[in-house]
Structure 1
Amino acid sequence: MGNIALLIIAIAFAVLVLFLVIVLHKVSKVVEEANRTVKLVSSDVDVLLHQADGIMAKANTLLDDVNGKVATIDPLFTAVADLSESISDINTSSRKLVARINRPSSRRKAGSASAVVLAKTAKKFFVKKDKVKESKETV
């Protein structure tokens, strides 16, 4: 009976060893596949990082170019803002002038002021015309 028990234990041990060999063989295949996958992913990540570096360099160059162009256009926007402020001031002044002209007591004053401005402008025009005429005659 002792021999039969030893024989059963030996057979059970042999089956256990055979099962472990099969399991270890399958585990080694899984590990090999994982190693291949890691190598493939690693090479793909290297390519992606290289391409990302190129894209970042191009984006930085493009951003520098845009910043330079914005800096050259910036004075234009400043000038437009100044111009719009001046136009607003002119509109305010013209509204005040119209309001003064529309007042009954100031109509005479505004009319005489307008006549003075018109006379001065006409004088400048005729003086320039005479000077041009004289310069043509001397030539």
Structure 2
Amino acid sequence: MIVILYIGVLIAGIALLVIAISVSKTLKSTAQTMEEVSKSIEKITVEVQGITDQTEKLLDKTNDLLEDVNGKVGKVDPVFDAVGDIGTSLLGLSQSVRQLATLATNKVGENEARLAQAVSISNSILAFRDKFKANKSAKQAAKEAHEETF
């Protein structure tokens, strides 16, 4: 019986040795994996730091550009205001010219009848004067012809 006990202890010892070796290999493999993970995290940290630096520089440049654009837009605003004022002035001028043209057209329309009457009277006077001159010339010619016969 003692032999069986010694054999049982020997088997238990071998089993514990196998378990210890197995656990040792697992722990060694886990340690290697953890080292690789650590190295990967260090690389990622360096790369992220580089990206962060570049992002900060880009944001700084973007902010500078935005300030520059805002400054230039601020300088251009008075030009747009002036253009708007010119447009308003031209609109007022155009309306004034339109009103003046309408007024002139209305006055011409009102005076058209008077003008036609004045032209008619002028033509009548000129025709009367021409007839009077022709009549006077005819009388003068007749008088001269009558004097020549005597």
Say yes or no: TM over 0.5: yes
Alignment correspondent of 2:63: 53
In the TM superposition, what whole-angstrom CA distance separates every residue of 1:39-65 from its partner, at most 9, and x where no partner exists?
101111121122112101110111011
Alignment correspondent of 1:65: 75
Aligned mate of 2:14, from 4, 11, 16 = 4
Alignment correspondent of 1:122: none
| TM-score for both structures, normalised by structure 2 | 0.62
Aligned mate of 2:114, from 93, 109, 112 = 109
- The two structures, once aligned, show a CA RMSD in angstroms of 2.5
Code of the aligned partner of 2:79: K
In the TM superposition, what are the counterparts of 1:1-139 in structure 2 within 5 Å?
A: 1-94=11-104, 96=106, 100=109, 107-111=112-116
User: Kindly tell me: are residues 92 and 108 of structure 1, through their superposed partners in 2, closer, same or farther at Cα, counting changes over 3 Å?
Assistant: closer
User: Kindly tell me: are residues 27 and 52 of structure 1, through their superposed partners in 2, closer, same or farther at Cα, counting changes over 3 Å?
Assistant: same
Structure 2: 5+ residue stretches without partners? 1-10, 119-150
2:61 and 2:87 map into 1 onto residues whose CA distance is: 38
2:117 and 2:93 map into 1 onto residues whose CA distance is: 31
1:111 and 1:64 map into 2 onto residues whose CA distance is: 63
Q: Which moved more, 1:1-10 or 1:64-73?
A: 64-73
- Give the fraction of aligned pairs with identical amino acids, expressed as a percent: 21
1:111 and 1:63 map into 2 onto residues whose CA distance is: 62
Alignment correspondent of 2:126: none
Q: Look at both structures and tell me which one has the larger radius of gyration over its CA atoms.
A: 2
Name segments (4+ residues, structure 1) moved above 4 Å: 94-98, 110-113
What secondary structure sits across from 1:42 in the alignment? Answer: helix
